[in-house]
Amino acid sequence: MNAFAPMPFSSSPMDSGGVSSMPHNLEAEQALLGSLMFDNAVFERLSDRLRGSHFYEPFHQRLYDAIEDHIRQGMLAEPTILMERFKQDPAFQEFGGLRYLADLVDRAPPAANAPDYARVVYDLALRRDLIRIGGEIIKEAPNPETPADEQIEQAEQTLYSLAETGKPSSGFVSFSHALSGAVQMAAEAYQRDGKLAGLATGLNDLDKKLGGLHPSDLLILAGRPSMGKTALATNMAFNVARAYQWEPTPEGRKTVNGGVVAFYSLEMSAEQLAMRILADASGVSSDKLRKGEIDASDFGKLRDAAVEIGESPLYIDATGGLSISKLAARARRLKRMEHGLDLIIVDYLQLVTTGENSQKNRVQEVSEITGGLKALAKELSVPIIALSQLSRQVEQREDKRPQLSDLRESGSIEQDADCVMFVYRESYYLGRAEPREGTEEHLQWQQDMDRLQGQAEVVIGKQRHGPIGIVKLAFDADTVRFGNLAHGYEEVSYE
């Protein structure tokens, strides 16, 4: 290919210190634009990654945008046709008008080389953005009004957004490629404890019903206060972290059982959450722990349990009022660490925010939050369990078993979730309706209480990839622990 002749430069909006102060390669831009006009089919190989803003020269930005517009509208993008769009553009005349476009086509490299030039253009655009972002970070760093840790999170989020901007979408994959991935998932499930396709929660009947917790799934765990939704989420988090096993790979390490867990506790402190897990692991009553009513035997159990579970890969973030963007940034940071990330739990959904100065109503905010959590689950390829409140209308019904319509701001939650589960303990409501002693009603009530004692239900109201129904679990109120019952679940139907 013949070298391009020197060309006049227009002032780049990104360049504040002269043409040579920012990295660029005008010859690569010319070669790429020439290839596109010579063979419009080249565009389909570049459009997932390249944007007009990636070009350094402003006229080249506008020229690429014009080429893209014509091709997307099914029109031919070649010099004579494109010239009509730039007749009133001073830079077009300065570059030589139609003659310049024709020279680009005449000197265009083979179409097969176009992706190489596109990579050069894109890489240099990223470098210019890095310089710009670096300058903004340096400018903001001395500002005492913004805490340093918040500045770091903002910088991290900006850099991540930059990395995602030009990331090509996966597009179509062949069925054979998808099939190979499915077989690999089945093989990993076969090697895993319980032979589940997903991540085991340690609650056998629930795992059988769900097939485990699957990557990219958003699961909603909802319940009224005192039903035990936080306790159930904590139990699952601890069970997954305690079972963690890994093997080395060329890329680092790979989880083969259990997993690394991120627990966002927006309501309870990290110490309160750890106290619950310690009660679960030791068998010491959480009420006794909270009141300090423990003896030497209890303390020995606590000490032994703390040693046993101390190395479990369970990470707790107890930041209150966390925004969905900060939550995602912190999850990405944990995922990038050597051990990776296998499960995210958010307690609870309604305490996540959409950021400062939001003008949206609460329904719109919850929609943005659930959409953000689902997108994060897909991006990181991990299951996310988000806890949710239920409306008070549950208390006004005779049958207080939760339904999908009981979800607060339910539209987006139900739509975005792959699975919706409700925690329900009938004994809680029955215990508040004790009849007068000495009556037949009280005798029947006592029999019902004995039957329901130590039991809880997980009502699966929606499951995108499986059946709905009720899973019965054991519940120990002293240690606030859910466990396995000898029997399984009952099938129910919801209209």
Show Cβ contacts of residue 73 under 8 Å, excluding neighbours closer than 6 positions.
none
Q: What pLDDT score was predicted for residue 5?
A: 46
Count helices and strands in the chain by DSSP H and E runs: 18, 11
Residue 4 domain-assigned (yes or no): no
- Dist CA 368 CA 234 (whole Å): 25
101 neighbors 77 (Cβ within 8 angstroms)? no
Q: 3-state DSSP call for residue 352?
A: coil
Show which of 107, 130, 158 is a domain's final residue. Answer: 158
Show Cβ contacts of residue 389 under 8 Å, excluding neighbours closer than 6 positions.
222, 224, 348, 349, 350, 408
- Dist CA 117 CA 439 (whole Å): 88
Show Cβ contacts of residue 383 under 8 Å, excluding neighbours closer than 6 positions.
198, 199, 213, 214, 215, 216, 217, 218, 219, 343, 344, 377
Q: For the residues of 245-290, what is the DSSP string, one character each? A: EEEEETTEEEEEES--EEEEESSS-HHHHHHHHHHHHH---HHHHH
Residue 257 domain-assigned (yes or no): yes
- Dist CA 259 CA 246 (whole Å): 9
Q: What pLDDT score was predicted for residue 24?
A: 92
Q: What pLDDT score was predicted for residue 357?
A: 60
Instruction: Based on the fold, state whether residues 97 and 147 are members of the same structural domain.
Output: yes
Residue 173 domain-assigned (yes or no): no
Instruction: Based on the fold, state whether residues 270 and 393 are members of the same structural domain.
Output: yes
Q: What is the pLDDT of residues 114-165, one digit of tens each?
A: 999 999 999 999 899 889 888 888 998 998 888 887 788 788 778 877 776 6
Q: For the residues of 140-162, what is the DSSP string, one character each? A: HTT-TTS-HHHHHHHHHHHHHHH
Show Cβ contacts of residue 348 under 8 Å, excluding neighbours closer than 6 positions.
229, 230, 266, 267, 386, 387, 388, 389
Instruction: Based on the fold, state whether residues 70 and 219 are members of the same structural domain.
Output: no
Residue 404 is given by DSSP the state G
Chain centre distance of CA 262: 12
| Cβ count within 10 A of residue 466 | 13
Q: What pLDDT score was predicted for residue 181?
A: 62
Instruction: Based on the fold, state whether residues 323 and 378 are members of the same structural domain.
Output: yes
Instruction: Based on the fold, state whether residues 146 and 266 are members of the same structural domain.
Output: no
- Dist CA 42 CA 39 (whole Å): 6
Q: 3-state DSSP call for residue 334?
A: helix
Domain containing residue 68: CATH number: 1.10.860.10
Show which of 131, 158, 185 is a domain's final residue. Answer: 158
Closest CA to 254 of 332, 192, 178, 330: 192
| Ranges in the chain, pLDDT < 70 | 1-20, 164-196, 251-252, 356-359, 408-411, 431-434, 486-495
424 neighbors 223 (Cβ within 8 angstroms)? yes
Instruction: Based on the fold, state whether residues 474 and 349 are members of the same structural domain.
Output: yes
- Dist CA 279 CA 287 (whole Å): 9
Number of domains in the chain: 2
Residue 12 domain-assigned (yes or no): no
Q: For the residues of 279-316, what is the DSSP string, one character each? A: HHHH---HHHHHHT---HHHHHHHHHHHHHHTTS-EEE
Q: What pLDDT score was predicted for residue 487?
A: 54
478 neighbors 293 (Cβ within 8 angstroms)? no
Instruction: Based on the fold, state whether residues 347 and 443 are members of the same structural domain.
Output: yes
In 3-state terms the chain splits into helix, strand, coil percentages (rounded to 5) of 50, 15, 35
Strands 469-476 and 481-490: antiparallel
* R_g of the chain, CA atoms, integer Å: 30
Domain containing residue 231: CATH number: 3.40.50.300
Instruction: Based on the fold, state whether residues 145 and 233 are members of the same structural domain.
Output: no
Residue 189 domain-assigned (yes or no): no
Instruction: Based on the fold, state whether residues 49 and 143 are members of the same structural domain.
Output: yes
Closest CA to 139 of 16, 310, 272: 16
- Domain membership of residue 106 as a residue range: 26-158
Instruction: Based on the fold, state whether residues 154 and 206 are members of the same structural domain.
Output: no
Instruction: Based on the fold, state whether residues 151 and 206 are members of the same structural domain.
Output: no
Residue 15 domain-assigned (yes or no): no
Residue 61 domain-assigned (yes or no): yes
Show which of 134, 158, 182 is a domain's final residue. Answer: 158
Residue 468 domain-assigned (yes or no): yes
Instruction: Based on the fold, state whether residues 121 and 205 are members of the same structural domain.
Output: no
Q: What is the pLDDT of residues 306-363, one digit of tens each?
A: 887 878 888 888 888 888 888 888 888 888 877 889 999 998 888 888 876 666 777 7
Residue 382 is given by DSSP the state -
Q: Is 74 left (phi over 0), alpha (psi -120 to 50) or beta?
A: left
At residue 50, φ and ψ (nearest 5 deg) are: -90, 145
| Cβ count within 10 A of residue 307 | 9
Checking 447-452 for CB contacts under 8 A at 24+ apart, the result is: 452/425, 452/426, 452/427
